[in-house]
Amino acid sequence: MSLLDLAPVIPVVVIDDVETAVPMARALVAGGLPVIEVTLRTEPALEAIGRIAAEVPDAVIGAGTVRTAGDVAASVSAGAKFLVSPGATPSLADAMAASGVPFLAGAATASEVMALAERGLKELKFFPAEAAGGVPYLKALAGPLPDVRFCPTGGIRPATAADYLALPNVGCVGGTWLTPADALAAGDWGRVEKLAAEAAALR
């Protein structure tokens, strides 16, 4: 099944303390969001992906902020089941395609979407969603590019997620609001599970 169809929201997570990774993932899965993107923005990210892959079997764990072929190799080696990039250079697209795991290459313009579609990629990340034009922009893309579907990420909030999800060319959205830094620091997994349950109910 497509990554875009597994859950309405993919939590986009920044891990500062690797010890929070497994309980956080368990809370997200319990709330109904099994697909989790851990961004490669912090030192513990790869270890966090590995721990979640090993200890939370119901989670579909992936790596985000993938920028280089080295990131691709390290992420897959750590246990990532999918990859997400903020943009897509030709060399990065080649590396992700050769990785053997599903991936969402990032695009923000019609030309970028068309270039990736020429490679046969019809499911993409739209980033940065709000800054790049948001819901109106995606509506406009649906006319000339009706066969491409997106996971918009970047600036999306609980109040706007449903507007994105109502679009025919949006399969899911990515959001950072599901794992607030203060909740992770405090180990407030009940709050994380509640936020996940609210997000899972969006569709």
| pLDDT tens, position by position, 25-77 | 999 999 999 999 999 999 999 999 999 999 999 999 999 999 999 999 999 99
Q: What whole-number distance in Å separates Cα of residue 149 and Cα of residue 138?
A: 10
Asked if residues 12 and 35 have their Cβ atoms less than 8 Å apart, the reply is no
Q: What whole-number distance in Å separates Cα of residue 119 and Cα of residue 111?
A: 13
Number of structural domains in the chain: 1
pTM of model > 0.95: yes
Q: For residue 88, give the nearest of 49, 53, 119 by alpha carbon.
A: 119
pLDDT tens digit string along 146-199?
999 999 999 999 999 999 999 999 999 999 999 999 999 999 999 999 999 999
Q: What whole-number distance in Å separates Cα of residue 192 and Cα of residue 183?
A: 7
Kindly list the catalytic residues. 37, 125
Give the model's confidence band at 203: pLDDT under 50 very low, under 70 low, under 90 confident, else very high: confident
Q: What whole-number distance in Å separates Cα of residue 174 and Cα of residue 159?
A: 13
Q: What whole-number distance in Å separates Cα of residue 169 and Cα of residue 107?
A: 14
Q: Which domain holds residue 159?
A: 3-201
Q: What is the DSSP letter of 118?
A: H
Q: What whole-number distance in Å separates Cα of residue 15 and Cα of residue 68?
A: 20
Q: What is the CATH number of the domain that holds 114?
A: 3.20.20.70
